[in-house]
Structures are given as C-alpha cells and as structure tokens.
Amino acid sequence: MWKIFVQGSSCETFGLVSAWRGWRPLAADPHAPPGAPVSRDHVISENPETGVLFIAGGKWTTWRKMAEEVVDRVVGEKGPKSKTLDLKLFGGEGYSDNLSIQLIQKHGMSNDTADLLAKTYGDRSWEVCELSEATNLNWPRFGVPLAPNYPYISAEVRYMGSDEMILTLNFVVGTEIELICYHLYFSSMQGVRM
C-alpha cells in the first residue's frame, strides 16, 4: 500500500512522503480438527501437554479484546472477569468528545490541529498546548505548524522530547508524524527547539 501525503506531487523520490506494507497473518489452531479452516481473527489455544495458552493472529485494532479473552480463559469461569474495557488508556482519563473544541477555545488553534491533538494525545493534549508558541497570525493564534497544510505543530516535537523520551528529529518525523520527505524535513525543522 502506498500513501502519498504531499498533494499535487508526482511519485518521484522527492515527492514520496511515506510508504508501508502490512502483513496480516492467518492463524491456524494446531489443536483444531484436521481440515479446520484458518482464521482471519485471533486464535486462542492450549497446548494439551503443558497447559500453556497461546494466542495468534488478530489485528492491532482488536488487541484489547484479545487480551480480555486470554485473561478470562486463564482465570476460568469462576475467576474474576477481565476489566480491560473499563480501564482508560493513557490520555483517556479527562477525554471528552468536545476536547478539541475546548482546545480551540483556550489555545486558539486550528480545528485540524485541535482534532489531531485530541485524537492523538487525549487529555495529554493540554500539556502539548502549554508548549505551543504564538503563530503571530490572527488565526490560528497558537500552534506553529511543522509544514504548511499539515495539522502537526512544533509543540508536539517538544512534548515528544520531554515527555515521551524521543531523542532524534528523525524518529519524530519518520515514525511519530509520518512526514518522511527530506524536503519537508529540512524546510519544516529549521529552528524547531526540542
């Protein structure tokens, strides 16, 4: 699968921003009866000799459900049920559906940036916004963009350096923010402080 982030650019080296491929394995339960189909979902099975449970297959988007099923299987029917769906993920404690609106109201940032921060950082968005700098524009007032027409702001880079222990701009750009084009890298990173 190819994904091009620079609108209007050709597929030449300087226009390619990122590309990736994902493999989704099909899981076959080795303890299933002969001829049983492979699964596009995850498989939980137990080694009959050792009693060890294993899980295979599945998707990134269902990892919590997979974990819940494994825990429930380990503790058995009489044990306590998994509470993973009741646990908030990091950044979820103060999250609300109108968080991006609150960010816009308090910090005067663009809708796209506020939406991105709310979805990416949850209630940690407030910490990112506290690191944002004035744009010296009428709108948005805060949140200096890393590159034109993108919602990513320089405050995210500082937040990643101070709170997420990211040490290189290469990692920030290449892994965290998906802007993998050197002309964007060099033009947008000039003067960004970590």
Please state the rounded mean pLDDT for residues 133-145.
95
Cis peptide bond upstream of 140, omega within 30: yes
How would residue 7 be classed by pLDDT, with cut points 50, 70 and 90? very low
Q: Is the pLDDT of residue 184 over 80?
A: no
pTM: 0.59
Average pLDDT, the chain: 79
* Spatial CA neighbour of 123 closest among 151, 89, 166, 155: 89
pLDDT in tens, 93-131: 989 999 999 999 999 999 999 999 999 999 999 999 999
How would residue 48 be classed by pLDDT, with cut points 50, 70 and 90? confident
